């Protein structure tokens, strides 16, 4: 038992006072500090970083009355050693990160109907849930850089180049988290013509000199591939200190754990029939699997979660995995099964991504799923009753094998029965198509007058199906990932002509009015990772010479 009554998970009698270390899901990179994993993003072996031990929060019930920031401090302290970031500094970073939110509660819980609730995650600067993590990550980057650069001038200063790929929301949230920060340049790639008009305006109208938008002729997955190529490129790594803001960055997952606890406590405090210790369900509209993965960590830390329900749109690789145990990129229609893949394993046809009304979830492969795979493989290894070092090694090897297969053949699996069994113990999944998304926005508006954005509607549709299985007694919290004004097309399609509906008056926040009159800053670039890399290098060189 360590200080604050917090014990570590697993067979080791490690204590919280010992520093938390991180390892890669592919097993070749271990023993890293929090600062190292935050600044690096992707592991050297191509894997993603996870904590060596998931801390068990045995004192979690005593956190019930804490404010959002106080709660964040308790949770982050289990993952970041005070020897790395002293408590007073961590508190300051947290306070600054959440003071930019428009709600005192940061992430308020709203009653929808019966035992169904909405966790509104969109009260940050860009009106999407990604602000919760990216406001924090921006301040973390700044903190580490200020510390590294103390007393240094000119070319001696450590400069961070952040490259990100976005289907819309990550980009604007990253830009708002990093704009104007010293010693940081940020480059955001988005698929040209495939983000909503508001999202594009939010990104491109930010005037700060350190912000660069790149409109790529391709899809979001192309942008993600370019990012991976650049992060893994020797030349780019030699000339730049690259940082990642995509949800592969561990700090994003960490930040998101907080609202699972916070909303649980909000429910306890507002509902007499829901008591500390009662189990509930969270339903999460999912794409890259980052948001729901934070829920999985909360569960492993000890929060009484009965199930995490994954809600996907028609890009349903996750849903298909839970049904079949096979993780498989979908072949684009009309592309023959054999020969459909190019030599490097990527789809020959532009992609198999379907454009839906919930574009932030239009992905072919969920990058954070790799982190869950590691934990499933680890649990499976544990059944062999060897030591923990062996278990971790096995997990790393298994994940490496799966991911290699995915890269070369476009699929892996079916995985072992037991691995799928662990996945099903903690998760359920639902796939929701565009028609049901529109219907759900309409139904909820008519029934309770609430306007859902299309991503949140995917989650609410999944909630309704989940309730059919559990019965109405089980409490459900659906994560609301965006403000409806960000996806006006879908909302308008669903609610045009409804009594009392007026987009400008009822939905549009004042912050969005007049954005289209501002100057847009964006460069068009071909779908070619080397061109992107060279552009980034040249631009950073120019910024450094002007500094």
Ligand X SMILES: *Cc1c(COP(=O)(O)O)cnc(C)c1O
Name the segment binding ligand X (CB under 6 A); options: 46-54, 288-296, 396-404, 437-445.
Answer: 288-296
- How many Å apart are CA 184 and CA 428, to the nearest integer? 40
Under the binding rule (CB under 6 A), the answer on residue 46 touching ligand X is no
Strand 411-412 and strand 327-328: the pairing is antiparallel
Q: Scanning the structure block, which residue is given the tokens 């991976």?
A: 228
- Residue number, 426 or 534, with CB nearest to ligand X: 426
Tell me how far the alpha carbon of residue 45 is from its chain's centroid.
21
By CB under 6 A, the count of residues binding ligand X is 16
Q: Given candidates 72, 174, 283, 361, which one binds ligand X under the rule CB under 6 A?
A: 361
- How many Å apart are CA 482 and CA 315, to the nearest integer? 19
Name the segment binding ligand X (CB under 6 A); options: 27-35, 211-219, 287-295, 494-502.
Answer: 287-295
Phi and psi at residue 130, to the nearest 5°: -65, -20
Cα angle for residues 52, 58, 64 (degrees, 5° grid): 120
Contact 33, 22 (CB under 8 A): yes
Q: Taking CB under 6 A as the criterion, which residues in 240-269 touch ligand X?
A: 247
Long-range contacts of 222-225 (CB under 8 A, 24+ apart): 222/191, 222/350, 222/351, 222/527, 223/165, 223/166, 223/167, 223/189, 223/190, 223/191, 224/165, 224/363, 224/367, 225/346, 225/529
Name the segment binding ligand X (CB under 6 A); options: 280-288, 325-333, 373-381, 507-515.
Answer: 280-288
Q: Taking CB under 6 A as the criterion, which residues in 153-212 touch ligand X?
A: 169
Under the binding rule (CB under 6 A), the answer on residue 322 touching ligand X is no
Under the binding rule (CB under 6 A), the answer on residue 360 touching ligand X is yes
Selecting among 40, 64, 91, 130, the annotated active-site residue is 130
Shortest Å, Cβ 498 to ligand X: 22
Shortest Å, Cβ 287 to ligand X: 4
Catalytic residue list contains 130: yes
**97 preceded by cis ω (within 30°)?**
no
Under the binding rule (CB under 6 A), the answer on residue 124 touching ligand X is no
- How many Å apart are CA 453 and CA 467, to the nearest integer? 21
- Residue number, 63 or 450, with CB nearest to ligand X: 450
Q: Scanning the structure block, which residue is given the tokens 């662990």?
A: 422
Under the binding rule (CB under 6 A), the answer on residue 482 touching ligand X is yes
Shortest Å, Cβ 284 to ligand X: 7
**Helix H or strand E segment including 266:** helix 250-270
- Residue number, 184 or 372, with CB nearest to ligand X: 372
Under the binding rule (CB under 6 A), the answer on residue 364 touching ligand X is no
- Residue number, 205 or 224, with CB nearest to ligand X: 224
Under the binding rule (CB under 6 A), the answer on residue 434 touching ligand X is no
- How many Å apart are CA 176 and CA 125, to the nearest integer? 7
Name the segment binding ligand X (CB under 6 A); options: 190-198, 213-221, 279-287, 297-305.
Answer: 279-287
Number of C-alpha atoms within 13 angstroms, CB side, residue 124? Answer: 26
Q: Which residues bind ligand X (CB under 6 A)?
A: 128, 130, 169, 247, 285-291, 360-361, 455, 481-482
Residues noted as catalytic: 130
């Amino acid at each position: 038992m360590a200080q604050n009554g917090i014990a570590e998970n697993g067979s080791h009698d490690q204590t919280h006072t010992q520093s938390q270390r991180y390892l890669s899901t592919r097993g070749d990179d271990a023993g890293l500090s929090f600062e190292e994993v935050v600044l690096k993003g992707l592991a050297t072996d191509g894997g993603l970083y996870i904590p060596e031990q998931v801390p068990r929060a045995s004192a979690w019930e005593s956190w019930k009355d804490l404010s959002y920031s106080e709660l964040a401090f308790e949770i982050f302290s289990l993952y970041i050693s005070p020897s790395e970031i002293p408590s007073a500094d961590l508190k300051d970073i947290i306070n600054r990160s959440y003071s930019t939110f428009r709600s005192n509660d940061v992430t308020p819980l709203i009653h929808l109907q019966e035992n169904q609730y909405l966790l509104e995650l969109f009260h940050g600067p860009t009106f999407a849930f990604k602000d919760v993590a990216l406001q924090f990550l921006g301040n973390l980057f700044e903190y580490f850089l200020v510390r590294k650069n103390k007393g240094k001038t000119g070319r001696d200063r450590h400069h961070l180049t952040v490259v990100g790929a976005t289907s819309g929301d990550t980009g604007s949230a990253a830009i708002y988290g990093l704009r104007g920060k010293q010693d940081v340049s940020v480059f955001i790639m988005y698929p040209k013509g495939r983000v909503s008009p508001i999202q594009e305006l939010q990104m491109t109208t930010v005037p700060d000199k350190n912000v660069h938008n790149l409109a790529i002729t391709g899809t979001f997955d192309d942008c993600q591939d370019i990012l991976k190529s650049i992060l893994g490129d020797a030349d780019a790594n030699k000339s730049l200190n690259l940082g990642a803001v995509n949800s592969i960055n561990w700090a994003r997952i960490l930040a998101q754990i907080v609202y699972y606890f916070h909303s649980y406590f909000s429910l306890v405090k507002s509902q007499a029939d829901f008591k500390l210790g009662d189990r509930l369900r969270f339903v999460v509209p999912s794409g890259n699997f980052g948001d729901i993965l934070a829920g999985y960590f909360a569960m492993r830390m000890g929060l009484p979660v009965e199930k995490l329900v994954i809600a996907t749109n028609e890009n349903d690789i996750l849903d298909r995995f839970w049904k079949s145990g096979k993780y498989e990129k979908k072949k684009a229609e009309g592309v023959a099964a054999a020969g459909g893949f190019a030599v490097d394993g990527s789809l020959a046809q532009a992609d198999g991504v379907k454009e839906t009304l919930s574009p932030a979830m239009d992905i072919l492969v969920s990058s954070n799923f790799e982190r869950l795979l590691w934990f499933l493989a680890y649990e499976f290894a544990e059944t062999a009753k060897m030591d923990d070092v062996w278990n971790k090694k096995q997990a790393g090897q298994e994940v490496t094998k799966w991911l290699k297969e995915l890269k070369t053949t476009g699929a892996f699996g079916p995985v072992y029965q037991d691995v799928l069994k662990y996945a099903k113990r903690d998760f359920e999944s639902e796939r929701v198509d565009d028609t049901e998304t529109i219907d759900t926005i309409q139904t909820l508006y008519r029934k309770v007058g609430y306007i859902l954005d299309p991503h949140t509607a995917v989650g609410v549709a999944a909630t309704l199906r989940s309730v059919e299985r559990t019965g109405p007694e089980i409490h459900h919290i659906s994560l609301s990932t965006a403000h409806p004004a960000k996806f006006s097309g879908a909302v308008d399609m669903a609610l045009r002509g409804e009594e009392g509906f007026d987009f400008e008056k009822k939905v549009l926040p004042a912050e969005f009015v007049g954005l289209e009159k501002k100057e847009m800053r964006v460069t068009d670039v071909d779908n070619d990772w080397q061109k992107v890399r060279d552009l980034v290098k040249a631009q950073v060189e120019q910024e450094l010479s002007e500094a």
